[in-house]
Structure 1
Amino acid sequence: MGHSDAACLTCRQKSRRCDRARPMCKRCISKGLQCGGYPEKFRFCGIASRGKWKNHKAPISKDDASIAGADLSVEKSVVPAQELQSDAQIPLTGVLDSTTPWNPETPDSVILPSQRNTPSEESELKRTLSSKEAETLITHYDRFICPHQIAQPVDSGENPYRLYVIPLAYEQLNLLYAVLALSAFHLGHLKSDKHLYESVAVNYRAKAINALGITIHKVCSGDFTGDDRDSVFATIQILLLHDICETGISAHGAHISGAMSICSQLKLAQTLSVDQERTVFFLGNLVWLDIIRAFSSPERLCFTQELRLKLLSLCNLRFEAVNGCPRDIVLIIAAILECAKAYSSGKLEYTEFYNTIRESIRKLYLWDGSRCFFPDESTIWVSVSNAFRHACILRAWRLLDPSEPPSEPRIRDSVLEILDSVANIPSTSPLIELMVLPLFMAGADSLSAHSRHYVILRLEQIKGRSEMGNAAPLTLLEKVWHARAEQAQHDTSNIPWMSFASNSDSLHQDDYLII
């Protein structure tokens, strides 16, 4: 039977290449989707008889197959899996449907039972860590990825990703797999090694999602340690970072909802303390990622303002060093997005919505970055904070009127403030890597060719410096600019970038993480 007939139902519906793994497609797992399974008439005949895998063994070990339930998927080169005895479908492990609130009372609805004949977590940890591949990938994460996850003037042992993530990955299987997946993807692109980023990374990511589901079940059942709980939050962050590097669209954004549900179940808004520095660090970063996700669609905002206030009051200055945006501004934009979410759901009248947003915008205009505490003594932080402040101002104005012409003074002024602030940040400074969101927001409302060109140049500098690309900002900007070029000459209305964040193949917006 031809390949076009052998795809799983989900891949067929989305018109994309399927890896044909049984009992569920690994491509679906890696994208955080429910695999629709296969019609019974489809048969699978082992290793491909032509193409790059001709005369090669399947690129997966026996242990890998027992954990993942299928052969390793390769996105661009089809690797059919050997036929399994059972065609029964298994629900996707640990992936939370973003359209349905996660219910911690019924974790079995989203979590796979442990697979039959798999080794214990301890044995699997030892087996994985003893491999030369894992050693290479962990070393790469430590030396090349960790330094770019936080804006520090000097790379040192004080890097929280070295302090928290790596030791925890040696103890927690779900986090180990997530780190290996991200590192394989990054190293594969640096070396132009398709096997690493199309095969090894996808395999480890699928394993990470599977193991994450098991750990979530453990936490929700009450039989967990602090390492179990923190590994869930850390794994979600690493999976999201992987998505950011790959496409900028999160296949695992729904996990943020799961993190919030765990926080609610454990009553962390009441019980967290400053002594739980590692937990606060991971959750603080997820709070910002949740806000970034809500920039394109406020309805996706998940964390409560109560928990945000608690977490940001406990965070130290590492929060700004990782995320860039000062906590005062984070709380203001979060309140703005909360207001927009309530209005869109009909819980808030327009007058209250309008007045609340206007008052929040006034707070942003009055905020003084020169009086703020920053991670170090560099005066560049004032420019960083100003860029974020005006990025949030632009988003707030667009919530009130998405069609307002970008030529309006208040829009134009914020664009210029962002561009001037970024101009104060040398390309040699690690702080430039924090500027993706402000540059994107300025670019979306830039009308002049030179402003757009400057935005592109700085985004390319960031990509070159960090060697961790995010294609989403430029992709969206090009769509906005192209649509503006197609406007009638007398039409000065805005082209909202949010309108291009919708997925035409689904009923909801993609989770864009422009960071």
Structure 2
Amino acid sequence: MRSTDAACLTCRQKSRRCDRARPMCKRCISRGLQCGGYPDKFRFCGIATRGKWRNQNVPVDQVATSPTTQVQNASNDTSPAPSTRDEYPTSPDNSTPSDEQEIKRVLASAETGMLITHYDRVICPHQIALRVESKNPYRVYVLSLAYEQIGLLHAVLALSACHFGHLNSNKHFHEAVAVDYRLKAIAELGVAIRKVSSGDFNDSDRDGVFATIQILLLHDICESGVSLHGAHISGAMSICSQLKLDQRLTVSDERTVFFLGNLAWLDIIRSFSAPERLCFPQKLREKLLSLCDLRFESVNGCPRELVLVIGNVLEHTKAHSTGRISTEVFQNVLKGSIQKFYLWDSSRCFFPDANSLWLSVAEAFRHTCILSTRRLLDDTESAFTPHIQESVNQILDSISNIPASSPLIELLVLPLFIAGADCLSQHSRHYIMLRYAEIKARSEMGIYAPQDILEKVWQARAQQSNHDRNNVPWRPFRGLSQVDLENGRNNMLEQFFVFQQEEPDKSNDIRIASMTARKRFAGNDSTHLSILAVLYYHTLGNLDANLKEQLVGDTITLNKSQNSAWNCL
């Protein structure tokens, strides 16, 4: 029997069959198109002159509700955040019956529909620099997988709620909805990792894990501009090792390669501050980058040839820090890498499109790699050294070619930071902060951590005497800061992720307890971190329920600032 539901606006405009899936048509998503949404069944307009509606108001299809209207309606909804999933069709081969039911319940919520629409139309375009938006892999891959993998769906909803909450100053979404979904995503991720590790999985299960990890990392970046935690990347690497993906991946594994390539770059960014954290081995990086298409550069900015060289630099730095290679070998490798960076010709590089500004992006990353390698080689070298300032100026000159209106500006957070750490002039520092403001305004993502560290480095340099030429390294300023305090919750989540893998029987207890505490003390923002900290230690220490309640009460009484909350952790 033919369905009486209206097709989505996109399918209607293209005169093609629609699967009428809610909240967005799966045919549109699988083709990378923006689903135009569904009209209300009827809108009475005018008087009919014939037919069954003769002499009555005629029902006609109404234009689908706009994302803005959906956001406003959902933000006015005071109902609790959905604990489950929607009526989107899923493949029985890719999820268990319980997962299918959960996905349907989650997707049935109006709030979920709004958050998915927000992810699709607001967040996705800023995750990759594309001229043809219909080819956005974050829409084609992530959304289609999210309708099959419950952990990824929760991660997408968490990221979207966090971003929407920041964007609209809505604490309910940022502090309640986003945290609930993130906790669920992390719990589901542990289940998914165990499933893949057991060998009972398919390609969607495996790629769902990699996609979930990337979305969780983007959630961190949305809040602060950097992910301070490495448990997720380490988990991805353990799966790669177990499945021997460095040997088995082929060009046909396009989706897997896309996710892993991005995780390999995030692994490198994380290792700039602490090379010992590097997870991905050079062999796997080489395999991934040999299979990646040019979307890798569209997402990450840095040309793959430079990624391989800087990855090798970080790998040898890690080996040197653990005593596996001598100082002489370490220095020779880094000096040779600097020469490779200087000899690399950006004009011979392949770029995602014909936009000439890609050359400026490539040059900015080239000198970012040069400057970072010099600092790994000798972090005490004076910033006044000519070749240090040459790289600083080259980075800033390259970035100056890119207007604020270009999507490529969003790729340059790292080059701006590396240049800023060795920047000496006041006007150049002011320029860097102006460009960060432009990036934040365009991407609508938080970039507080890099700015916070730069401010501290510059303040330390200002306290030096006029004749003091000693360097002020940026790495020691990675410690506790306001950004760390704001992300204390994420620290707990990372620890919870590891803990729930080690003792899965107890992980559900802490998840339920933390949700209960957040609902009980909703609106009391100053107690948020303390409650989670106490609950975390309650589970680890096996404290009885009465003592837990007493500790929660005492913590709330004593908690005068976020600092005391952090001390609990």
Q: Give TM class, smaller chain.
A: 0.7 to 0.9
Q: What's 2:166 paired with?
A: 189
Cα distance between partner residues in 1 of 2:447 and 2:179: 18
Looking at structure 1, the residues matched to 79 and 445 of structure 2 have their Cα atoms a distance apart, in angstroms, of 29
Q: Does residue 1:137 correspond to 2:115, yes or no? A: yes
Deviations 1:233-285 (A, max 9, x none): 00000000100111234354211011011001001000000001000000000
SS in 2 for 1:181: helix
Distance 1:313 1:503 in 2: 39
Q: Does 1:265 align with 2:239?
A: no
> Which residue type is aligned with residue 413 of structure 1?
E
Map 1:412-427 → 2, pairs under 5 A: 412-427=389-404
Give the superposition deviation at 1:503: 4.7
Q: Secondary structure of 1:192's match?
A: coil
- Paired residue total: 397
SS at match of 2:134: coil
Which amino acid is the alignment partner of residue 126 of structure 1? K
Aligned to 1:445: 422
Secondary structure, in 3 states, of the residue corresponding to 2:465? coil
Q: In the alignment, residue 214 of structure 2 is paired with which amino acid?
A: Q
Equivalent residues of 2:142, 2:211 under 8 A apart: yes
Equivalent residue for 1:502, pick from 471, 479, 493:
479
Correspondence for 1:150: 128
Q: CA deviation at 1:427?
A: 1.0
Q: Report the counterpart of residue 111 of structure 1 in structure 2.
A: none
What are the residue-to-residue correspondences of 1:212-251 with 2, within 5 Å?
Answer: 212-250=189-227
Conservation of the 8 A alpha-carbon contact between 1:237 and 1:282: yes
Q: Describe the superposition over 1:443-499 as per-residue Cα deviations: whole angstroms up to 9, x where unpaired.
A: 111000000011000111010011112211100100100111112332111111111
Shift of 1:221: 0.4
* TM-fit CA distance, 1:428: 1.0
Which residue pairs with 1:482 in the alignment?
459
Partner of 1:123: 101
- Out of 280, 284, 290, the position equivalent to 2:261 is 284
- CA–CA distance in 2 between the matches of 1:421 and 1:393? 14
Are 2:326 and 1:352 aligned?
A: no
Q: 1:337 maps to which residue?
A: 314
2:357–2:402 CA contact under 8 A, matched in 1: yes
Q: Higher relative CO (CA 8 A, sep ≥ 6), structure 1 or 2?
A: 1
* 2:469 match: 492
Which residue pairs with 2:381 in the alignment? 404
Q: Deviations over 1:321-361 (max 9, x none)?
A: 00000000000000000111010000111111111100000
8 Å contact kept, 1:239–1:252: no
Write the distance in 1 (CA, Å) between the matches of 2:226 and 2:146. Answer: 25
* TM-score in terms of structure 2 length: 0.68
The equivalent of 1:33 in structure 2 is none
Give CA-to-partner distance per residue, 1:345-387, whole Å, 9 cap, x none. Answer: 0011111111110000000011000000000001111110000
Asked whether the equivalents of residues 365 and 415 of structure 2 are also in contact (C-alpha less than 8 Å), the reply is: yes
**Deviates most, 183-192 or 410-419:** 183-192
Report SS of the residue matched to 1:477: helix
- Between the aligned residues of both structures, percent identity stands at 64
5+ unaligned residues in a row in structure 2: which ranges? 1-77, 85-95, 492-569
Which residue of 296, 309, 328 corresponds with 2:286? 309
Q: CA contact under 8 A between 2:225 and 2:445: conserved in structure 1?
A: no
Residue of structure 1 equivalent to 2:550: none
CA contact (8 A) 2:440 2:446 kept: yes
Please name the residue that 2:144 is paired with. 167
Q: 1:129 corresponds to which letter in structure 2?
A: L
Q: What letter corresponds to residue 391 of structure 2 in structure 1?
A: S
Give me the whole-angstrom Cα distance separating, in 2, the residues matched to 1:252 and 1:216. 18
Distance 1:324 1:390 in 2: 13
1:433 aligns with 410
Report the AA paired with residue 320 of structure 2: Y
Q: Deviations over 1:391-436 (max 9, x none)?
A: 1111100111111111101100000000000011111111111011
- Shifted more, 482-491 versus 445-454: the winner is 482-491
Q: Is the 2:226–2:447 contact (alpha carbons within 8 Å) kept by the matching residues of 1?
A: no
Give yes or no for contact 1:153–1:430 (8 Å, CA) kept in 2: no
CA contact (8 A) 1:181 1:204 kept: yes
Instruction: State the distance in 1 between where 2:451 and 2:236 align.
Output: 29
- In the alignment, the residues of structure 2 paired with residue 180 and residue 58 of structure 1 have an alpha-carbon distance, to the nearest angstrom, of 16
Secondary structure (helix, strand or coil) at the match of 1:152 reads: coil
Alignment counterpart, residue 301 of structure 2, candidates 300, 324, 328: 324
- Cα-to-partner distance string for 1:192-248 (whole Å, 9 max, x where unaligned): 111000110011000100111111110000000100000100000000010011123
Distance 1:399 1:317 in 2: 29
> Which structure has greater helix proportion?
2
Instruction: Provide closer, same or farther for how the CA distance between residues 180 and 58 of structure 1 changes in structure 2, counting only shifts above 3 A.
Output: closer
8 Å CA contact 1:290, 1:303 repeated in 2: yes
1:62-101 equivalences in 2 (<5 Å): none
Q: Deviations over 1:283-335 (max 9, x none)?
A: 00000000000000000000010100000000000000000000000000000
The letter of the residue matching 2:263 is L
Tell me, in whole angstroms, the C-alpha distance in 1 between the residues paired with 2:422 and 2:466. 17
Contact 1:240–1:253, Cα closer than 8 Å, also in 2: no
Task: Give the Å deviation of 1:153.
Answer: 2.7
Corresponding position of 1:208: 185
Confirm or deny: 8 A CA contact 1:153 1:429 kept in the other structure: no
What residue in structure 2 maps to residue 467 of structure 1?
444
Which string of whole-angstrom CA distances, capped at 9 and with x for unpartnered residues, describes residues 111-138 of structure 1? xxxxxxx992111111001111111000
- Which residue of the partner structure matches residue 295 of structure 1? 272
Cα drift, residue 166 of structure 1: 0.5
d(CA) in 1 for partners of 2:231 and 2:260? 15
